[in-house]
Chains A and B, each alone.
Chain A
Amino acid sequence: MNITASELKTWLLQYGQLLIEQTEYLTKLDSAIGDADHGVNMQRGATAMRQTLTETTKTAPSELLEEVAEAVLEGIGGAAGPLYASLFFGMAGAVDGETSVTPQQLGDALQAGVDSLAARGRAERGDKTMFDAAGPAIEAFRQTLDAGDDLNTAIEAAESAANLGRDETAPMQARKGRASYLGPRSVGHIDPGATSVALLFEALTELSGTENS
């Protein structure tokens, strides 16, 4: 069975829930190498996103994702707002006109979203940003599907890759964003943005079983 707007809604509601639960942890990470606002901003954005998802009447995946993009753009603010908005706008563009998507199409959409995020942030892998978790996650997701495995396996692979990518930001010296002004002192801390984006892939487990249902 294909993935519809309803499943995407479930995924993103769970993502918002995880963000709200992790507010203090994200704040703590951002206090070490940033300005201590990532947790609060993501919490505000998550609340706005969840409200949008609860109230929306959209049934087309692209329209739902566009609404989510607008909600996080305004709700998160800061640097993360435009970056997450770019991710969801990118995804929306990739599924324009579809009423539901196959796992492969979801992979293509996530790829478009992550590409759009990297372009807006002018980020490269190794800069110690969201892209260091999002990049490996989408690669793992698509490679697993390409190898003929099912959606559940691809989601597990994406989640592990995102978490690994997140952890691998610790030894990196930041080259983008506020942490880059700490120079070598940014080394030894996990990137808060990579941590929040890893939750997006963790929340994908909500879609597990969609194929079999």
Chain B
Amino acid sequence: MSKLINNKTEIVADFMRGLKQSHPDLDVDIENRVVYRKTPAVGDKVALVSGGGSGHEPLHSGFVGLGMLDAACMGEVFTSPTPQQIVRAIEKVSTSAGVLLIVKNYAGDIMNFEIAAERAERNGIKVRSVTIDDDVAGGKLPSDGGRGMGLTVFAEKILGAAAENGMSLDGLCELGQDLRTRGRSMGIGMSSCTHPVAGVPTFELGEDEIEVGIGIHGEPGWRRARAGSAQDTAKLLVESILAELAAPEQSSFIVLVNGMGGTPLIELYVMAGEIHRELIERGHSVDRYLVGSHITSLEMAGCSLTLLQSDAESLKYWDAPVSTPALNWGVAA
């Protein structure tokens, strides 16, 4: 398939050049593949660093800015950044309050961030990590635990606001663990995607088939199923997540209806309406919605749902001002 790229091996650098031109509030280190806030954190604010493979945009670089991340490390497409990149980002943004790493639960990300944290700590920097593992696909079977999905966006927003508000590194770790227990996701795919270097779709799907329990790398899901209506799909996602979440009756949620990159907003809002109905029918309520493509898998068609049980604290930090390329509210122009 055709792609809007120049050189398939330079796609990440070319992306970063465009990002820098479009968002003057960001500092972009193309050589080391790190995106920074132009106005760095100072004093006793904990610095937040995340990152991962590219191809999930706007995650993570689109969430760098006031109220979210201080730095995002960009790996090659679907490939974790390396320890050298991560150490550089940590060293550049670290403050006396320390550095919090937000890491999606993928073997590569875990190991590279782990090695980077070990090296930064040897250099005297206080580093802690929160691992995001919200995917319910496959239930408890994968011994690596759930993959990091849409909860990553919620964690970066909520922990970012809390850090901005002066929360300590220990406090952020505790809040991060709390978010992990209260948030779950699941996705479905209606097409694969084409890795720019591989050049062919990772898998093929029939017209009336969907992949259930996909990750965010164009890989096949846990099982294949017949495609249904938006209503059927909403029911499948809500039921699968609630089965794992153990939310009490009459829970309220922050909801992410996320596009995988190739599904139009009109369909995502159809899904949002159906998901709302499914939750209300089960006696739950929704405090906030975020609808759009926020953690994607290149041009994969499909969507994922993330439910986070909300409380006063998470809502306060959710509503707090944010100014990033992808999320923007509450900041006077």
Q: What is A's interface to B at a CB cutoff of 8 Å?
A: 27, 31, 33-37, 40-41, 44, 73-74, 77-83, 85, 120-121, 127, 175-178, 180-183, 185
Contacts and interface: CB of A to CB of B under 8 A. Distances in A.
B164 to A, nearest CB: 31
Contacts of A177: 107, 144
B144 A73 contact: no
Interface of B: 53, 75-84, 106-108, 111-112, 114-115, 135, 137-138, 141-144, 147, 195, 197-198, 200, 202-203, 213, 215, 217-223
Nearest to B146: A181
B143 A35 contact: no
Given A41-B79, A77-B75, A82 B108 contact: yes
A181 B222 contact: yes
B103 to A, nearest CB: 13
B78 A35 contact: yes
B112 A36 contact: no
A180 B79 contact: no
B100 to A, nearest CB: 21
A31 B80 contact: no
28 contacts: A31-B203, A34-B219, A35-B78, A35-B218, A36-B218, A37-B77, A37-B195, A40-B76, A40-B197, A73-B82, A73-B83, A73-B115, A77-B80, A77-B108, A79-B80, A81-B80, A178-B107, A178-B217, A178-B219, A180-B138, A180-B141, A181-B138, A181-B142, A181-B219, A183-B138, A183-B142, A183-B222, A185-B223
Given A31-B202, A176-B144, A79 B107 contact: yes
Contacts, number: 114
Given A31-B203, A35-B202, A79-B107, 6 more contacts: A35-B219, A36-B202, A41-B79, A77-B75, A77-B108, A181-B221
A186 to B, nearest CB: 10
Given A31-B203, A82-B115, A77 B82 contact: yes
Mostly, the A contact residues are helix
Given A77-B76, A78-B75, A180 B202 contact: no
A37 B79 contact: yes
A82 B79 contact: no
A183 B223 CA distance: 8
Contacts of A34: 219
Contacts of B79: 37, 41, 77-78
A106 B114 CA distance: 28
Contacts of A33: 219
B141 A183 contact: yes
Contacts of A27: 198
Contacts of A185: 220, 222-223
